[in-house]
Structure 1
Amino acid sequence: MSLFSVIPAFSRRAAIAVCLLCCGAASAQSPAPARQEIVHFGTFENDMMFDTDRYYTNGVQFSVKGSRDRRGRFVRGLTERACGPLGCEGSTLLTTQTNFGQLMYTPNDITVAAPQPLDRPWAGLLYVEQSYALLSPDRRTLTTLTAQAGVTGPASLAEDAQKLFHRMLDRPLPQGWHNQVGGSLAVMASAERRTAIDGLSATFGDDIQVNTAGYWRLAAGNIMSYAAGGLAVVVGKDLPDVSPPPPGIGNKLAPQRFGLTTCMVRWLQCTTFGVVESRVMARSIFLDGRLFHNDRKVKRRNFVTDLMVGMRLDFPDTRTASHGPWFVQLKVTRRSREFSATIPVPRHRMAAITLGTEF
């Protein structure tokens, strides 16, 4: 029996759309502007800062973001049709972004080799992701369309990566990866709509801005299906009305304007942010296992909330003619309980560091 014969129709359509969108950047036929801004950055996210090694325990991602519209004719038509129900007709492409990454999930005690039916399943995902950010004519609403495709199970290399990392740091080796969620093609498509909120935004002395945006997101696929809503507050200088989610706060400043700084010194630009997001979960392969398979699973909670705070530091003196200033970004996330069991299930915390260049 083939894989596609057991995936529901909506997942098959999502898989086709994901593959086409992910390939769209490589199939562009339309003429491009003479100059393109390209950003490269990497993100490392882990819970070891809080002395834990459990649940969503590690994520790594390398990203390339550009301002040139490299969509092929078909993908352009697909994103334009998606804008009909989403209300983003007439929006212009702000950025395209390609992400390559790996996610890793484990139970609370990784030294147990036996199955742990009351704890979170072992799971890994190796993925590629393509997203398009579209800015409305009034520059106050940002719509982001994202497609993700990857593999779970041994092909995700999560077991190899965790064991290598633990050997390098002389930490206990994980023993239960043979219990992980099995291998499959994994896909997900999502749409996010982010709008500036005037009533919660203001400018204070020394040109310090507080910009607030509300957003919603819908995601569907055999990786995860959910609906989310949130509020994001960004504090900095010369900020756009609405910004992409971190990383990429996107305080785009002309080179001569880097004298505007929130950090008391000329050579440092600071931006801080806080986000609260709630999700109604319909499915997660990391908790429910694969469709139509007897994977390890737990009782998923349908309502999950994330609280995120962070700071981004730009170093304007590192700007050159070919790229913007280097930046480093720190983010801490506190996540509510994602599943229920007869054993205690604590909230989870993780920290992320991102390093790269921005516009």
Structure 2
Amino acid sequence: MRLKTGEGQVRKSRAQRKGTLVGSLLLAGWMALGVAAPAAAQPGRDCPEYFFNATDGNDFFAGLTDRHFTQGLRISFVERGTGTDDPGWAERVRQDCASSHLPGRAGMGVLRFLTNSTRRAGQATLGRWFDFNTDTVSVILGHNIYTPEDLSKTGLISRDQPYAGWLYVGFGFFNENKDREVLGEKVDILDSVEIDLGVVGPASGGERVQREWHELIDDEDPKGWDNQLHNEFALLISYDRKYRHRLVEENGIRPAVDWIPGGGFALGNVFTYVSAGGIMRVGYNLPADYGPPRIRPGTQGSDFFDTGGHHRKKLMAYLYTGVEGRAIAQNIFLDGNTFRTSHAVNKRYLVGDWQFGGALAYDCVRLAYTIVYRSQEFKGEFEPDIFGSVTLSVRF
């Protein structure tokens, strides 16, 4: 349908104002990182490192479709320290690693309160029960949107994915062991635990986010959100383990090759599954990370990386490909609400991902891009989904 001239001008004006607002928020975020950076720049090996990660997963980046998993945003703040089990560690960091700038002190104070609270909870549970090191922890904010393929229909599309949004906050714990001997080989092992708490349904804001975004880019208005899943508390507990094997060592211009197999599981009313897979990488300075972060469900990389600084290479670059298979018992975005009758489809119990992409990092910045082909997730879906994700990581 064509817009009248006046209506088109109003829509354009709204888009410009929203674009200006988004740009202002992004600029403010970068300024905040710039102000906070001096807090981590103080000398001393006891000062923690901080990482900011923003991952945007969207079918726009690859398939140019607008269906099923259509958009996901994951933002994480990571604190990576040493000797955090020392009772005086937090006070020593506060005294020795504080910024000289008042805004920087205030910003880092809030961040450290969140990470210290997360670490204490991890020490009281994972540390006590499983001897899990909690030197590296993260605080996460995420939002996912799911829709059927046809956005023009107002009625229920019974054989396609339900409309749904998922808003959550998460808390992550990482336990890294380097040069461990496994079956006669020395490998690096990364264990990660993540606990996500949030809401699925109208309270997640999925409808508003998609409608306003489509208005901003002058795309089709999604008309079926009245059929979305009902409000439901959302819990997800996930665990992953990865083994980083060195296959070919880097030598001059010859790139290195490594293989990172792994597996894990997820429990909760959002997802319940077991997974196994791995990625193979070719490039330079591969020990700097374990692959880029991803939005669940999917092969997870690491929210931190080791480039720059004393005795560390500043450049990391690699291409990678990998697969993951999942046996799924629960997927709320296909099975529908747990405690109320809602739209649901017949899910497939075995789902696979094939992914490929690359990452480039220099000093304190990492940029990664991934494309994912996902096999059919429910009966009546006739072709795989394809979507991409972009991750920007900053160490400060």
Q: TM-score of the superposition, structure 2-length normalised?
A: 0.71
Name which of 258, 265, 290 aligns with 2:337: 290
Residue in structure 2 matched with residue 305 of structure 1 by the alignment: 352
Q: Deviations over 1:29-78 (max 9, x none)?
A: xxxx8411111121111112322100000011221111035345453131
- Aligned equivalent of 2:156, options 96, 112, 115: 115
SS of structure 1 residue aligned to 2:249: strand
1:203 aligns with 2:240: no
Q: Does the Cα contact within 8 Å between 2:263 and 2:277 map onto a contact in 1?
A: yes
Q: Residue 64 of structure 1 is aligned with which of 56, 63, 77?
A: 77
Change (3 A) 1:217 1:245: farther
The aligned counterpart of 2:204 is 156
RMSD: 2.3
**CA–CA separation in structure 1 for the residues paired with 2:338 and 2:302:** 34
Query: Residue in 2 aligned with 1:225?
Result: 272
Q: Tell me which moved more, 43-52 or 148-157.
A: 43-52
The question of whether the paired residues in 2 share the 8 Å contact of 1:306 and 1:334 is answered with yes
Deviations 1:278-312 (A, max 9, x none): 00000011000111311100000000001111111
For this pair of structures, how many residues does the alignment match? 302
Computing the radius of gyration from Cα coordinates, the structure with the larger value is 2
What is the CA distance between 1:244 and its match in structure 2? 5.7
Give the partner amino acid of 1:152. V
Aligned residue for 1:277?
324
The answer on 1:347 being equivalent to 2:347 is no
Say if 1:284 and 1:81 are closer, same or farther in 2 by CA, change over 3 A: farther
Moved more, 206-215 or 59-68: 206-215
Closer/same/farther in 2, CA of residues 285 and 313 from structure 1, 3 Å limit = same
Judging by fraction of residues, say which structure has more helix: 2
Indicate yes or no: 2:58 matched with 1:46: yes
Amino acid at match of 1:149: L
Counterpart for residue 189 of structure 2 = 141
Instruction: Confirm whether residue 215 of structure 1 aligns to residue 262 of structure 2.
Output: yes
* Alignment equivalent of 2:374, drawn from 319, 332, 335: 335
On the 8 A contact 2:127/2:134 being kept in 1, the answer is: no
Give yes or no for the alignment of 1:104 onto 2:145: yes
- Does the CA-based 8 Å contact 1:93-1:135 persist in structure 2? no
Distance in 2, Cα, partners of 1:137 & 1:270 = 21
Equivalent residue number for residue 187 of structure 1? 235
Task: Give TM-score, length-normalised by structure 1.
Answer: 0.78
Deviates more, 1:38-47 or 1:64-73: 64-73
- Identical-pair percentage: 27
2:102 aligns to what? none
- Report the 3-state secondary structure (helix = DSSP H, G, I; strand = E; otherwise coil) of the residue aligned with 1:339: coil
Aligned to 1:11: none
Answer yes or no: is the 8 Å Cα contact 1:331–1:351 preserved in 2. Answer: yes
CA deviation profile, 1:65-109 (whole Å, cap 9, x unmatched): 1103534545313112553xxxxx4x6445212210100000010
Stretches of 4+ aligned residues off by more than 6 angstroms: 256-260
Structure 1: how far apart are the matches of 2:250 and 2:179?
23
Aligned position for 1:80: 127
**8 Å Cα contact 2:163-2:229 kept in structure 1:** yes
Please give the secondary structure, in 2, of the residue aligned with 1:162: helix
> Structure 2: which amino acid aligns with 1:180?
Q
